[in-house]
Amino acid sequence: SATEEELAAYGVAHITKGIGRSSTMVIERGEGVWLHSVGGRKVFDLTTGIGVTSTGHSHPTVVKAVQEQAARIPHAQVNLVLHKPMIDLISRMQEVMPHSSLDTFFFWNSGAEAVEAALKLARQATKKSNIIVFNGGYHGRTIGTMSLTTSKTVYRTGFGPLMPQVFVAPVPYAHHCSGNICNQPGADNSHCVNWALEQMELLLKMQSAPEDTGAMIIEPVLGEGGYVPMPAEFLQGLRKICDKNGILLVADEVQTGMGRTGKHWAVEHAPVTPDILIFAKGIASGYPLSGIASRRDLMDKQPAGSMGGTYGGNAVACAAALGTLDVFKAENLLGNVAVRSEQFFGSLRSNLPSILAKHDISVDIRGLGLMIGLEFSGPGTKKYKKGIAAEIASTALDKYDMLILTTSVYDTLRLIPPLNITEAETTEALRRLYASLEDVLA
């Protein structure tokens, strides 16, 4: 049979060059934090497949739920019939919604499709077509969601014309705040937050009038834009502006949702209740399931037949989500996120600055729960090289068998472990990270 190298060469030759890829490993199976390749390589996965396999690879509870549903019926088409896994899932999700007003659901397969669904609902319900998005936001790769995405030009270049009537507002990104005054030790974000809210008020006066503006779509922690948590005061300020102007607040929790930040939903940290909540990724431990939750009075404005899709709310994917929710309870995942988050941040804050100070490099350590970003900088200094984050990631994989992702246009690494990572596994991930960093700086 073919070797891993042969399989990889065939795959690379016959898969579009349009895919950006961290490695050419050919994966055979996964277990918890580990990936196993066809050729027998074992790699620590600090990416969870971009924030998806939050219960670890192939959690037995999820596997069992999937196997049982696959044997019963995988596809009970949503435009034709209802099915029990979806109904059970709605009832279980209602228990964990950030607010009881979010009681009506629509299911899809991918994050982008769910964002599209939110966009459609916002326009139908408000009869207003302008959409406000936030600089550095990522919402997907369809023409519609790409038009909302501003985290990197590569996602939109060459694909125009994009959807019109999208307006981009700035975010309070303290690390890049003017004069860095919000980024000094002990400083709060208030300067940055006030400035960004003022810019939003101006945008509504100068470019996108409230009577034309249907929705604002925001990630409570910028994901592809750099793992930048949006301050509570900013989200609360947006909520007030939306209420005052009859604009819907849409939270894209595709990457931040389902426990990733230490609460079921990242908006709970503010806390703020969105009018539409978008979920995907971690919800179903690797199965394609996404959706939106909203208020019944908004969803009731959708004419029958205006929403749908062949595979949306697939029964096996819903069963995987039910299995995932079982694991959340049985293993107290939110409790685990809290202690492992402390372990990660504690170690990073006590070790990274001293490793880097010798080289005149600084690091912004930020995030929420197990959504951890490390942004390296040090312009004009001796050792800092642009691209250091990517270099650490490739060293981690090549020399220390650990898969780790970069993010954003800045030099940023993101750590996305499974939510059931153990203390020993956390120590091991950090050991491999520090070793990779020391190698790059040597």
Q: Which is nearer to ligand PMP, 396 or 405 (CB)?
A: 405
Reduced to 3 states (helix: H, G, I; strand: E, B; else coil), residue 57 is: strand
Distance CA 54, CA 30 (A): 13
**Cβ contact 393:22 at 8 Å:** yes
Is the Cβ of residue 139 or residue 432 nearer to ligand PMP in the bound state? 139
Compute CA 75 distance to the chain's CA centroid, rounded to the nearest angstrom.
27
* Residue number, 269 or 432, with CB nearest to ligand PMP: 269
Using CA atoms, how far apart are residues 324 and 318, in angstroms rounded to an integer?
10
Distance CA 84, CA 65 (A): 13
Q: How far is the CB of 81 from ligand PMP (least distance, A)?
A: 25
- State the residue number with the nearest CB to ligand PMP: 111
Residues with Cβ within 8 Å of residue 345, at least 6 apart in sequence: 365, 367, 372
* Min separation Cβ 250 and ligand PMP, Å: 11
List CB contacts of 236: < 8 A, sequence separation 6 or more: 270, 272
Nearest residue (CB) to ligand PMP, 93 versus 204: 93
Shortest gap between Cβ of 222 and ligand PMP (angstroms)?
A: 8
Rounded-to-integer distance, Cα 268 and Cα 274, Å: 10
Name which of 219 and 375 has its Cβ closer to ligand PMP: 219
Residue 156, class by beta-carbon neighbours within 10 Å (0-12 exposed, 13-18 middle, 19+ buried)?
Answer: middle
Residue 224 CB, shortest distance to ligand PMP, in Å, is 6
C-beta closer to ligand PMP: residue 119 or 356: 119
Judged by the rule CB under 6 A, the positions of this chain that interact with ligand PMP are 50, 110-112, 115, 138-140, 219, 223-224, 252, 254-255, 280
